[in-house]
Amino acid sequence: MKILRGLACTGILLFFLAGCTTQLTPADRDLMNQAIDSAAGAAVSAEKAQNSALAADSSANRAEAAAAKAENAAARAEAAASRAAQEAAAAEESALKAQKAFEMGLRK
């Protein structure tokens, strides 16, 4: 923002100087006009750069939020896989106990 303000002030100063100095040669006037145009172009470029920086910052924030959500989802998936493995082990143990009970029932 300071860059834009400085460039705008420079452009305005050059504009006023161009109006106050009527004894400039045509070549000097052309150079002054080029300087004014350059200052205006620099201000536009600085504003575009600032807008791009803001957009990049916003994108980075969104990417960071998405990464946090993905990490959270991965942790939940890992916890679910762990619970599923525990439940599978418990089911296998129950099946073995049932088989043992069945075999004991056949022996009697």
Query: Position of tokens 């106990």?
Result: 97
- The DSSP secondary-structure symbol of 22 reads T
Residue bearing tokens 């942790």: 75
What is the structure's pLDDT at 19?
60
Does residue 37 contact residue 12 with C-beta atoms inside 8 Å?
A: no
* Alpha carbon 38 to chain centroid, angstroms: 32
Res 103: pLDDT: 87
How many angstroms from the chain centroid is the CA of residue 67? 11
pTM of the model: 0.53
Query: Using CA atoms, how far apart are residues 7 and 29, in angstroms rounded to an integer?
Result: 19
- DSSP-derived letter for residue 101 is H
What is the pLDDT, as a whole number, of residue 107?
Answer: 81
For residue 78, what pLDDT band results from cuts at 50, 70 and 90?
very high
CA distance 60 to 108: 72
95 pLDDT band, cuts 50/70/90, is: very high
| pLDDT at residue 6, as a whole number | 67
16-58 pLDDT tens trace? 665 655 677 888 889 988 988 998 899 999 999 999 999 999 9
